[in-house]
Structure 1
Amino acid sequence: MRFQHKLGFFCILILVSPLFTSSQEHVKGVSNRKEQIHKKQMSRKLLFEVKLHGFLLWASMGFLMPVGLLAIRMSHRVHCRRRLRILFYVHALSEILSLLLSTAGAVMSFRNFNNSFNNKHQRLGVGLYGLIWLQALIGIVRPQRDSRGRRMWFLVHWILGTALSVLGVLNIYTGLVAYHEKTSKGIKFWIIVFTAEVCFITFFYLFQEKWDYIQKKGVTLGNESKRATINQVVLPRDKQKEVALAETC
């Protein structure tokens, strides 16, 4: 009798065990699905943060910083005080906004991304974050025009600002490459658009540098050249300067 009871219990255990295993597999399947859904949500959130980081750094170093550089460069050939102030404020405002946006992008990078610093984009980005703050401090401690350290300050400020613009543009390209390596998404369209923007800014920079030379060569309208010759013949030099300043303003 005992043997029969044991045999019956063993048969019941064999029949019921598939139910336990199937239930366990069902629980594991549900948990795996939840983990997959959670990973997808996290990846979407991370992808959004990567895109936002790229947009902030493009707006900072790919747009606002070159605009500020162009504004202060254009002021060197302007004689009207009102226009000089406008160009200076454009330069200062664009650089301040560039500093704030790059700082926001840096904070987002340190908080949300895996900063192993094993690629060029991360290493160059850290250097740019430090240099942009150094450039801002140099701009704040600007000496007066007639002081002895004005020339050295201008040289350092100009070299550092130009280097920041060039390295910032380069780091945007490395960021696009890193984005492609992480997500396997195409970046050809964005590279073409950004390259077109860089070419336009470079052309405008070189063109405004040569604009005075073009005007002196008589490429301007004939009425302006005739007016200039009349002023040179009729008016004395002091009056010519006053008229020139009035016309430029």
Structure 2
Amino acid sequence: MSIKNFENSFDNSHQKLGLALYGAMWVQALIGFFRPPRGNIRRSTWYFLHWLFGTMISLVGIFNIYTGLKAYHDKTSRSTTTFTILFTAEICFLAFFYLLQDKWDYMQKQGLILGDNVDAVASSIQVITQREKEKVLPPEPCGKRNALKNLFD
């Protein structure tokens, strides 16, 4: 959009950062195609770097929106306060729901009990010894899953 509709001098940080982010997104996509297979010793290193690079692109992209709003204000002298507040609220909203979905299963498993029906609660409590636990319960998987339910390798 910037190249087609506006000055293309790339003399401010917003334009330079936007061009760098555009290139970084394509590099991130290319890195995804060269993913080592599961079980390969380089897979965990690749995963960490791919995740770190993607997270950095996202955070720098958010920062670039703020620099764009400032550049717009400097160029037009119009107020960008409303847009800044709306964008900040959107980012907070997205961060809250991202963190909520990450912990939603955990909160569901906590068995929140409402009311004061103590008799029903007491009758449902069972004491299981360690020996019975080893016999009855299957071992828990130790892999941690992210918000998209993907198993970390």
TM bracket (short chain): 0.5 to 0.7
Between the aligned partners of 2:66 and 2:140, the Cα distance in structure 1 is 50
Q: CA deviation at 1:170?
A: 0.4
Q: CA deviation at 1:211?
A: 4.7
TM-score (norm 2): 0.68
Summarize the alignment of residues 88-99 of structure 1 with structure 2, pairs less than 5 Å apart: none
Aligned to 2:147: none
Aligned to 1:204: 97
Between the aligned partners of 2:140 and 2:45, the Cα distance in structure 1 is 34
Superposition RMSD in Å: 3.3
Alignment: residue pair count: 129
Aligned to 2:118: none
Between the aligned partners of 1:145 and 1:111, the Cα distance in structure 2 is 43
Q: CA deviation at 1:132?
A: 0.5
2:72 to 158, 176, 179: 179
Q: Which amino acid is the alignment partner of residue 47 of structure 2?
A: F
Between the aligned partners of 1:205 and 1:155, the Cα distance in structure 2 is 20
Between the aligned partners of 1:129 and 1:239, the Cα distance in structure 2 is 46
Q: Is residue 236 of structure 1 aligned with residue 127 of structure 2?
A: no
Determine what percentage of the aligned residue pairs are the same residue. 49
Deviations 1:28-73, CA, capped at 9 Å, x for gaps: xxxxxxxxxxxxxxxxxxxxxxxxxxxxxxxxxxxxxxxxxxxxxx
**Unmatched tracts of structure 2, length 5 or more:** 115-120, 142-153
TM-score (norm 1): 0.44
Q: Is residue 190 of structure 1 aligned with residue 90 of structure 2?
A: no
**Unmatched tracts of structure 1, length 5 or more:** 1-107, 242-249
Between the aligned partners of 1:215 and 1:188, the Cα distance in structure 2 is 39
1:240 and 1:182, CA in 2 relative to 1: closer, same or farther beyond 3 A?
A: closer
Q: Give the structure with higher Rg (CA).
A: 1
Aligned to 1:221: 112
Q: CA deviation at 1:215?
A: 5.6
Summarize the alignment of residues 100-179 of structure 1 with structure 2, pairs less than 5 Å apart: 108-179=1-72
Q: CA deviation at 1:175?
A: 0.8
Between the aligned partners of 2:22 and 2:86, the Cα distance in structure 1 is 25
